[in-house]
Chains A and B, each alone.
Chain A
Amino acid sequence: MSRDSSRWLSWHTVVVFGFLYLPIVTLIIYSFNGSGVGGFPPRNLTLDWYRMLFADDAIWTSVLNSVLVAFAAMAISLAFGIPAALALDRANFPGKVLFRRLVLLPLILPGIITGLSLSILFHDTGVKLSKLTIILGHGTALISVASTEVFAGLQKLDRAQEEASLDLGASYWQTFWRVTIPNLRLSIIGAALLIFTLSMDEIAVSFFLIGRDNTLPLEIWGRLRRGITPEINAISTIIFLFSLIAIVTWYRLRTGEGKAEIAAEVVEAGQPS
Chain B
Amino acid sequence: MFSRAYRAAITVPPLLWIAVFLVVPYALLFCYSFWSVSSSQVIVHSWSLDNYRELLHVHVYLQTLFRSMWIAARVTIFSLLLGYPLAYFLSFYAGDRKDLFYQLVIIPLWVSYLVRAYAWKTILGSDGVLNTLLQYVHLTKHPLEFLLYSPFAVVLTLTHIYTPFAFLPIYASLEHIPRNLVEASHDLGASPMQTFWRVIFPLSIPGVLAGATFAFVLSLGDFLAPLLLGGPSGLMISNIVVSLFGAAYDWPLGAAISLCMLLLVLALLFLSENLEKRWSFR
Contact = CB atoms under 8 A, between A and B. Distances in A.
The answer to whether A binds B is yes
Interface of A: 1-2, 5-6, 9-10, 12-13, 16-17, 19-24, 26-27, 30, 37-41, 79-81, 83-84, 86-87, 90-91, 93, 99, 102-103, 105-106, 108-114, 116-121, 124, 136, 139-140, 143, 147, 172-173, 176, 197-198, 200-201, 203-204, 207-208, 217, 220-221, 224, 228, 232-233, 236, 239-240, 243-244, 246-248, 251, 255, 259-260, 263-264, 266-267, 270-273
Contacts of B251: 120
Interface string B11-52: 101110110011111101100100000000000000000000
Contacts of A80: 13-14, 17
B29 A99 contact: no
A93 B107 contact: no
Interface string B256-277: 0010011001000100010010
Contact of B111 (A9, A93, A233, A240): A240
Contacts of B193: 2, 5
A120 B120 contact: no
Contact of A140 (B17, B90, B163, B224): B17
Given A16-B83, A200-B112, 8 more contacts: A5-B193, A41-B136, A83-B13, A91-B7, A228-B122, A240-B111, A267-B207, A270-B168
Interface string B78-90: 0000110110111
A66 to B, nearest CB: 11
B209 to A, nearest CB: 10
B245 A204 contact: no
Given A91-B11, A176-B6, A16 B111 contact: no
B221 A109 contact: yes
Interface in B85-101: 85-86, 88-90, 92-93, 98-99, 101
Nearest to A30: B122
Contacts of A208: 245
Interface of B: 1-3, 6-7, 9-11, 13-15, 17-18, 21-26, 28-29, 32, 82-83, 85-86, 88-90, 92-93, 98-99, 101-116, 118-123, 125, 127-129, 131-133, 135-136, 160, 163-165, 168-169, 171-172, 175-176, 191-193, 207, 210, 213-214, 217-218, 220-224, 228, 238, 241-242, 245, 251, 254-255, 258, 261-262, 265, 269, 273, 276
Contacts of A270: 165, 168-169, 210, 214
A65 to B, nearest CB: 16
Contact of B106 (A41, A87, A247): A247
Nearest to A109: B265
A24 B113 CA distance: 11
B11 A26 contact: no
B269 A272 contact: yes
Consensus secondary structure, chain A interface? helix
* Among B3, B26, B220, residue most surrounded by chain A Cβ atoms (within 10 Å): B26
A143 B14 contact: yes
B117 to A, nearest CB: 9
Given A217-B114, A243-B111, A260-B172, A99 B241 contact: no
Contacts of A112: 221, 223, 238, 241-242, 258
Contacts of A248: 103, 107
Given A99-B18, A270-B214, A9 B85 contact: yes
Contacts of A109: 217, 221, 262, 265
10 contacts: A21-B108, A24-B108, A24-B119, A26-B123, A83-B10, A110-B265, A117-B28, A143-B18, A236-B115, A239-B115
A172 B261 contact: no
Given A6-B93, A263-B171, A267-B172, A38 B9 contact: no
A27 B2 contact: no
Nearest to A36: B127
A26 B122 contact: yes
* Among B122, B175, B223, residue most surrounded by chain A Cβ atoms (within 10 Å): B122
Nearest to B16: A80
B254 A116 contact: yes
Contacts of B109: 247
Contact of A110 (B14, B101, B120, B218): B218
